Amino acid sequence: MHFDQISQYLLSGLSTGAIYALIGVGFSIIHNSTGIINFAQGEFVMLGGMLTLFFLSALKLPLIIAVVLAIGVATLAGVVFERLAIRPMKDASPISLVIITIGGSILIRGIAMLLWGKETHAIPTFSGNDPILVGEATILPQHLWIFAVTAVVIVCTKLYFSFTISGKAMRACAYNRRAAGLVGIDVKRMVFFSFAISAAMGSMAGIIVAPLTMTSYDVGVMLGLKGFCAAIIGGMSSGLGTVFGGVILGILESLGAGLFSSGYKDAIAFVILLVILLVRPQGLFKKGETERV
C-alpha cells in the first residue's frame, strides 16, 4: 500500500465528507428547534443545483446572480413548506411529522421532475478544472470552494447561535420548547427561522457540489440520507460534531472502496456506523443525557 494512494483516499473522503456535513447541519438545525427529522432536507440540496442550472441556462444569468437567486428561491420553498405543512401540525406526533416530510420530499421531487425533466445536467465549475496537487494527491478547485463554503457556514452558524438574540432563542427552543415559550420566546417564529436557515444551507450544498457530481431531480435522496448519517454520528449538533460526522463518513467510504471492496464500501461505512451507535448512542461528540421520565 502506497502512501500516495492513502493520501488520495483521505483527501477524496474529506471532500465528500464536507458535503455530507453541510447537509447534516441542516438536519440538526431543524431537529434541534422542532424535534423533527426533516426528510425533505435532501430536496433542498436538489433545488439548489437545479435552480442554479435553470437560472444559468434558461435565463442566461451570470453565475453569481444565479447562485444567489437559487438560494433565495430554495429558502422560499423551505419557508412555504413550513407554513403549509409543518405549522398547522402543532400537536402532531413526531412520527406523523416524519411522514409529512417524506410526503413533502416526494412532492418537491415530483414537481422538479415535471418542471425540469428527468435528465442529468452538468453545471460549469466555479474556477476551472485544473487539478491541484496536494502532496501526492490531487483535488479540484471546486473542492476548495466546498471546503471554504463549509467552513464559512459552520463559523456563521456558531456566531449566530452564540451571539445573536434569535440564535440564542433558537438554542433555548432546542433545550426545552415549553420553557422557551414560557420565557417569552416566539417558538413558532424560531421554527420558521430554522426551516429558512436549513433550506438555505441545503441549497448551498447543492450548488457547490453540482459542478462535480452533476445534478438531476433525484440527487436529493442519497445526499439527504448521507447528510442524515453525518448528523447522527455527530450527535445532532449544529456545529463541529456534524462536521466530524460527515468527514468520518466520507473517509470511511473512500477508504472502504480503496482498501477493501468498492461494492461493499457503503456496507462497511454502515457497519461502522452501527458500532458507533451501539457504543455511543448519543453520537460521538455529545455528552450523555439523562433520560427524562
Partner 1 sequence: MHRIDSRDKKKLFRHEWVKFALFSLLIMILPVLFEGGYLLNVFIFVGIHTLLAVALNLLLGYAGQISLGQAAFFGLGAFASGILTATYGQNPWLMMVVVAAAVGLLAFAIGFPILKLKGHYLAMATLGFGIIVYIIFNEAVELTGGPSGFSGIPNLTVGGITFDSDFKNYYLIWGVTLVTILLSLNLVNSRIGRGLRAIHDSEVAARVMGVNVRLMKVQIFALSAVISSVAGSLYAHTMTFVSPTSFGFNFSVELVTMVIIGGLGSIYGSFLGAALLTLLPEFLRAFQDYDIVVYGFLLVFMTMFMPGGLVRGIPSLVQNLRARIGGGASDA
Partner 2 sequence: MPRILSSIVASVAAVFVLSSGAFAAAPIKIGALFAVTGPASFLGEPERNTAQMVVDEINAKGGIGGHKVELVVYDTQGDATKAVQAANRLIKDDKVVAIIGPSTTGDTMAVIPVVEKAQIPLVSCAAGSKITDPPKKWVFKTAQNDSLAVAKIYEDLNKRKISRVAILTVSDGFGSSGREQLKAHAAKYGIQIVSDETYGPKDTDMTAQLTKIKGGQAQAVICWGTNPGPAVIARNAKQLGLKLPLYMSHGVSSKKFIELAGDAAEGIMLPSGRVIVADVLPGSDKQKKSLLAFVKDYQKHFKAEGDHFGGHAWDAVMLLKGAIERGGDTPSAIRDELEKTRGFAGIGGIFNYSSSDHAGLSKDAFVLVEIRNRDWILVK
Interface residue with partner 2, options 79, 85, 144, 214 (CB under 8 A)? 214
Interface residue with partner 1, options 58, 64, 95, 165 (CB under 8 A)? 95
184 or 263, CB closer to partner 1?
263
221 or 272, CB closer to partner 2?
221
Residue 224's binding partner among partner 1, partner 2, none (Cβ under 5 to 8 angstroms by kind) is none
Interface mask toward partner 2 for 258-287; x: CB under 8 A:
x---xx-xx---------------------
Enumerate residues 140-199 that contact partner 2 by CB under 8 A.
Answer: 140
Look at the chain and count its residues: 293
Q: Does 222 bind partner 2 (CB under 8 A)?
A: yes
Q: Pick the piece of the chain touching partner 2 (CB under 8 A) from 11-19, 25-33, 34-42, 193-201.
A: 11-19
| Cα angle 95-96-102, degrees, rounded to a multiple of 5 | 95
Contact 20/227 with Cβ under 8 angstroms?
Answer: yes
Q: Does 223 bind partner 2 (CB under 8 A)?
A: yes
99 or 156, CB closer to partner 1?
99
For cell 429558502, what's the residue? 75
| Binding residues vs partner 2 (CB under 8 A) | 2, 5, 8-9, 12-13, 15-16, 19, 113, 118-122, 129, 131, 138-140, 209, 212-214, 216, 218-219, 221-223, 253-255, 257-258, 262-263, 265-266
